[in-house]
Structure formats: structure tokens, C-alpha cells
Amino acid sequence: MPEVPAPPAEVTYLDAIREAMRAEMAADPDVFLIGEDVGVFGGAFKVSKGLIDEFGPERVVDVPIAESGFTGLAGGAALCGLRPIVEFQFADFITCAYDQIVNNLSRHHWRTGDKVPVVLRAPYAARLRAGPFHSQSIEAYFAHTPGLKIVAPSTPDDAYGLLRSAVRDDNPVLYLENRWLYRRAKVPRLSGEAVPIGRAKVVREGTAVTVVTYGPCIVEATEAAEALAAEGISVEVVDVRTLVPLDVGTITASVKKTSRALVLHEDSRRFGYGAEIASVIGEECFWHLDRPVARIGAKDIPVPASMALEDAMLPSTAQVAAALRALATT
């Protein structure tokens, strides 16, 4: 097996994604990256910077702006035994490949038994002042599709570990990477371990109330938990990490312990993925709940281009803290 270069001393969320791709490409010659400007330019956000120098243009493939075309190509390559990683410059553009993902990639194994190992990397969500066409959260579009796994890491270690697991999985995996976290989330070094798909993580222990979240909202959840700790309110924070399949056991164990739950995400509240989590909690934990399950999501409007309006539409630490305080004290 080819030697994998050591990761840098300080590793960002963005670095972790690159290191995971590098490690899988070095370990398996069937793994390749395909997308717009992923090669010479190094990707729109420089996630794939340097990979073309290591693996060449046959494995780091620049393609025209044609999401439906290169996603279909990746599906065909997977059926021929390769393991493609598809990069969409922005998650918003993935809708151009909706037919390939929903009608082909996700259903082909059920119809034929063939393996379809395609990873779909989608930089998603808001906070970067990119307006309504480059800031969407897309998880709810695809979570309803059987046959497609969905992961949404919030830390560098999870970004690294979930991507390695996604590449090795024989099913299509939608890998939601958060652009706002690219250079904000950092660790001194990576754990270097693959993270199993389908396992949530309790990132902060608590006893009074549970907040269930994923992706960028892990920041607001942990900040709110720290603020409430000073008031004597103990908040447990659960990072879902994998949306499909959902780790119901970890979530319900936490809620049964605290008897109160808040579901938090950045996507629009109406029909957002948090509604599914809240429903599961209601079904599985009904006799343990002291309060109805609460939900916080973005306002049901397109992401504004205005900085002030974008901030106003998204969940804030103060809003999360207020909701948790109300749940814990009433």
C-alpha cells in the first residue's frame, strides 16, 4: 500500500477533507476525484489543492460545467468497479444532477444488486454572504430518497473519518461539507481514524435538557450549553453526524435521560430534517418527555444577500440558549 503523507501540524476542516481524499486515493488506485476546477485550480475553495500533482489528471479530473453529465459519468464509472468522488462547487448546483442521483444512483443497487460506490461532495449552507443561489441547505431534498446515505460532519476529525468511510462504502453517499467551517474548525492533529457511518456522538454530557444538531449549528449548540452552564443548567449536546441512516439509539438515550429535547439545524424550519428527528423523539420517548419537543431552524425564506438579513434568518446562540433555558426551567 502506498505511504500516505503525514497531515499538517494544525488541521482545519478543509485540510481534513483533503487529507481524507489523499489517503483514500493513495490506498486505492480505483478512487478518483471529478468536478469543476478540482485539478489545476485546486477546487473553488482549494479543498483539492495539490492532488493533481500527486495523482495526475487521470485521477483528478477537471470537467465542464455540466453537473448532470459528470454525475452520470461517475455512476457509470462506479458500475465498472471504480470509486469516484464527485465535487459540486456549491451544493445549490446539485439539483442539476437530481435525476442521476435520485433515479439512478440511489435506486440501482435495489434493482440489480450492483455496487454503486459514489461519493457526492456538496459544500452547503449559509453564513458566507453568498446570497440565495450559493447558500442552500439541501439535506431535506435527498433524505427522503431510499438508497442514499447522507453524512454531515461538524469537526475536522469527523470530516476526515466520515469521508474515508464514505469512499469505502458500496452505496452512494451524499457528503455535506460546511463551507463556513472550512477554516474555522481546527484541531492540532487528526485522530486518523475512519468514523463509522450511522453513529451519532454525544459531544457534551448534560442532565437537564438535550439539544440534537449537526453541521454548523454545533457551534451555536455548544456555545449555548456553555453559557447555560454558568446558570447551573446542564445541557447535553448530541451531534447527529449521519442523517441517513439516523442513529436513533444515541438520540433517544440522551432524551430519556434529560426528558427535554431541542432539535436545531440551519436549514429552513418547515419540512427541515429536524422535523424527522423531532418525530422520532416523540414516538420513541413519549413517556419520558416532560415538555413537547422544540425545534429551531432558519426562517422560511431564501437566504438574503444582505449580511444583516442573513444573520436575522439564521439560528443564533442567544435564540438557542433562550429555548434551552425555557425547556429546562418550565
Long-range contacts of 269-276 (CB under 8 A, 24+ apart): 269/295, 269/296, 269/297, 269/298, 269/299, 269/300, 270/297, 270/300, 271/140, 272/137, 272/140, 272/297, 273/139, 273/140, 273/143, 273/243, 274/212, 276/143, 276/246
Q: Which of 108, 109, 134, 144 is catalytic?
A: 134
For residue 325, give the C-alpha cell: 433555558
**β-pair partners for 325:** none
> Cα–Cα distance between 229 and 324 in angstroms, integer?
11
> Cα–Cα distance between 239 and 244 in angstroms, integer?
13
For residue 152, give the C-alpha cell: 454531515
**Can you tell me whether residue 158 is helix, strand or coil?**
helix
265 is catalytic: no
User: For the chain, what is the radius of gyration of the CA atoms?
Assistant: 20
Write out the catalytic residue numbers: 134
